[in-house]
Amino acid sequence: APDKPVLLTGASGNLGRMLARELGAQGWVLRLTDIALFPDPLPPGAVFVQSDLDDGLALVRQAEGVGTILHFGGVSVERPFEEVLGPNLRGLYHVYEAARREAARVVFASSNHSIGFHERPQGNQPKLDADCHFRPDGYYGLSKAYGELMGRLYWDKHGVENVNLRIGSCFPKPLDNRALSTWLSYADLARLVARCTLAERVGHAVIWGCSRNPQSFWGHDHRDRIGWQPEDTAEDCRAAVEGIRADPVTERYQGGGFTAMEYSRAT
d(CA 146, CA 218): 20
Q: Choose which of 12, 62, 88, 111 interacts with ligand 15L (CB under 6 A).
A: 111
Q: Choose which of 9, 62, 112, 197 interacts with ligand 15L (CB under 6 A).
A: 112
Distances (CA, A) of 114 to 138, 152, 254, 260, 267: 8, 15, 10, 15, 22
Give, as ranges, the residues between 20 and 39 that touch ligand 15L (CB under 6 A). Answer: none
Q: Choose which of 113, 195, 204, 223 interacts with ligand 15L (CB under 6 A).
A: 113
Q: Which of 85, 222, 228 is nearest to 155 (CA)?
A: 222
Contact 31, 66 (CB under 8 A): yes
Residue nearest to ligand 15L (CB): 169
Coil/strand/helix, residue 33: strand
Give, as ranges, the residues between 124 and 183 that touch ligand 15L (CB under 6 A). Answer: 169, 182
Residue partners of 74: CB distance under 8 A and separation at least 6:
9, 10, 53, 87, 88, 91, 92, 143
CB of 157 to ligand 15L, least distance (A): 27
- Which are the catalytic amino acids? 140
Ranges of H-type helices in the chain? 14-25, 56-62, 81-84, 91-102, 139-158, 179-182, 186-198, 223-226, 238-241, 248-252, 257-260
| Residue number, 33 or 111, with CB nearest to ligand 15L | 111
With contacts defined by CB under 6 A, name the span among 110-118, 152-160, 187-195, 200-208 that binds ligand 15L.
110-118
Element of type H or E holding 164: strand 162-167
CB of 114 to ligand 15L, least distance (A): 9
Cα torsion 76, 82, 85, 86: sign: negative
Total binding residues for ligand 15L by CB under 6 A? 8
| Residue number, 43 or 256, with CB nearest to ligand 15L | 256
114 belongs to the binding site for ligand 15L (CB under 6 A): no
77 belongs to the binding site for ligand 15L (CB under 6 A): yes
CB of 229 to ligand 15L, least distance (A): 21
Query: In the complex, which residues of this chain contact ligand 15L (CB under 6 A)?
Result: 76-77, 111-113, 169, 182, 256
